[in-house]
């Protein structure tokens, strides 16, 4: 049976890298039924469309979404991020952002579980007296027991399936209200997982450890803002952002999950055939794993870990990986 996948190539190098991801998935023998959606900065520039509500409703009948990258220099900052990416996360309840990092050269093999629908990105805040000398701006962080707990439980389940170690990252000594909720919930849920060893890092300390000794980590769980920052740093220490895959998951499966590379649209190199599609291909492997196609996902991840497939050119890398997974 074919999996129904919504394809959002997006902007810049997005369509190029997603094409290679689909090529590799096809080479594994997994059958996809794809539906293409024209969204992103270029679409907004043409007719003002960002993400219609009726499109979200259409997506609920899909098994997954596979996104390349969105954003163009002409579009005001934040418009696509809030109007498309964040709207998608909230509407489809993609409450877990999962980022795996593997880099054999430095013995790196850890995953970050980032809460994906709350925190500083929930949109709570406002402005008074804008443009005056007395301007006031507030930006709150929304943390609910339900949202925090379900993310932490996902992280404990993941750690239990791996090496059995989970680290909570926050800033409890300063962010005393949200930090207290996260820490209490973490400790309470930990009692249900006696075989999972736990630890706590302040976020500033975690940034140091990511650079100096990232091999100490197995699974990390953190809030939305800290997770956004830490996962970009994780990409930098594990082979570069061109290797960084991600999944925006609805573990309850009440709607489709979304899978995307995290490198952005890179308009400066779009159309030149030089973008590295590995992150998109690995994101495709995460999608297959979530859909139960574990053998195909394993083959893709195993081949992508071999430096020999990192040849020159977008299509050449896709061809090299596709040849070996078929």
Report which of 37, 66, 63, 32 is spatially closest to residue 50, judged by C-alpha positions: 37
pLDDT of 1 higher than 80: no
In this prediction, residues 31-47 reach a mean pLDDT of 97
In this prediction, residues 118-128 reach a mean pLDDT of 95
Assign 106 a pLDDT band (cuts: 50, 70, 90): confident
The pLDDT value given to residue 104: 86
The pLDDT value given to residue 224: 98
Query: Pick the catalytic residue: 11, 95, 228, 301?
Result: 228
Q: Which fold has domain 95-240?
A: Isopropylmalate Dehydrogenase (3.40.718)
The pLDDT value given to residue 2: 93
Query: Pick the catalytic residue: 171, 217, 218, 223?
Result: 171
Cα 246 to chain center, whole Å? 3
Assign 276 a pLDDT band (cuts: 50, 70, 90): very high
Question: How does pLDDT run across 212-243, given as a tens digit for each residue?
Answer: 999 999 999 999 999 999 999 999 999 888 89
Question: How does pLDDT run across 167-178, given as a tens digit for each residue?
Answer: 999 999 999 999
Whether 268 is a known active-site residue: answer: no
Whether 121 is a known active-site residue: answer: yes
User: Does residue 10 come out as left (phi exceeding 0), alpha (psi in the -120 to 50 range) or beta?
Assistant: left
Query: Pick the catalytic residue: 93, 109, 232, 319?
Result: 232
The pLDDT value given to residue 36: 98
In this prediction, residues 191-199 reach a mean pLDDT of 98
Assign 140 a pLDDT band (cuts: 50, 70, 90): very high
pLDDT of 291 higher than 80: yes
Whether 204 is a known active-site residue: answer: yes
Whether 171 is a known active-site residue: answer: yes
Q: Please give the CATH number for the structural domain made up of 1-94+250-326.
A: 3.40.718.10
Every domain range in the chain assigned CATH 3.40.718.10: 1-94+250-326, 95-240
Query: Pick the catalytic residue: 103, 121, 217, 301?
Result: 121
The pLDDT value given to residue 124: 94
Query: Pick the catalytic residue: 38, 61, 180, 204?
Result: 204
Whether 53 is a known active-site residue: answer: no
Q: Taking all residues of the chain, what is their mean pLDDT, rounded to a whole number?
A: 96
In this prediction, residues 115-122 reach a mean pLDDT of 96
């Amino acid at each position: 049976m074919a999996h129904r996948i919504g394809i959002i190539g997006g902007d810049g190098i997005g369509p190029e890298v997603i094409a290679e991801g689909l090529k590799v998935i096809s080479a594994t023998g997994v059958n996809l039924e794809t539906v293409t959606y024209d969204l992103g900065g270029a679409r907004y520039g043409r007719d003002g469309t960002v993400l219609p509500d009726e499109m979200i409703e259409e997506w609920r009948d899909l098994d997954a979404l596979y996104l390349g990258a969105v954003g163009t220099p002409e579009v005001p900052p934040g418009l696509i991020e809030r109007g498309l990416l964040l709207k998608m996360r909230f509407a489809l309840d993609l409450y877990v952002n999962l980022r795996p990092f593997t880099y054999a050269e430095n013995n790196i093999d850890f995953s970050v579980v980032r809460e994906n629908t709350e925190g500083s990105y929930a949109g709570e805040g406002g402005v008074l007296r804008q443009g005056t000398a007395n301007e006031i701006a507030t930006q709150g962080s929304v943390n609910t027991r339900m949202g925090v707990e379900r993310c932490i439980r996902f992280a404990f389940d993941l750690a239990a399936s791996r090496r059995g170690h989970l680290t909570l990252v926050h800033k409890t000594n300063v962010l005393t209200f949200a930090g207290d909720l996260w820490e209490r919930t973490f400790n309470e849920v930990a009692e249900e997982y006696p075989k999972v060893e736990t630890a706590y890092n302040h976020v500033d300390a975690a940034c140091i450890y990511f650079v100096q000794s990232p091999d100490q980590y197995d699974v990390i769980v953190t809030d939305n803002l800290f997770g956004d920052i830490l996962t970009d740093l994780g990409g930098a220490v594990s082979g570069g952002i061109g290797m960084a895959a991600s999944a925006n998951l609805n573990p309850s499966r009440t709607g489709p999950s979304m899978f995307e590379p995290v490198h952005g649209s890179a308009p400066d190199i779009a159309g030149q055939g030089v973008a590295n599609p590995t992150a998109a291909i690995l994101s495709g492997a995460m999608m297959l794993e979530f859909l139960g196609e574990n053998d195909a996902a394993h083959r893709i991840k195993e081949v992508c870990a071999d430096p020999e497939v990192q040849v020159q050119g977008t299509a050449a890398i896709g061809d090299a990986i596709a040849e070996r997974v078929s």
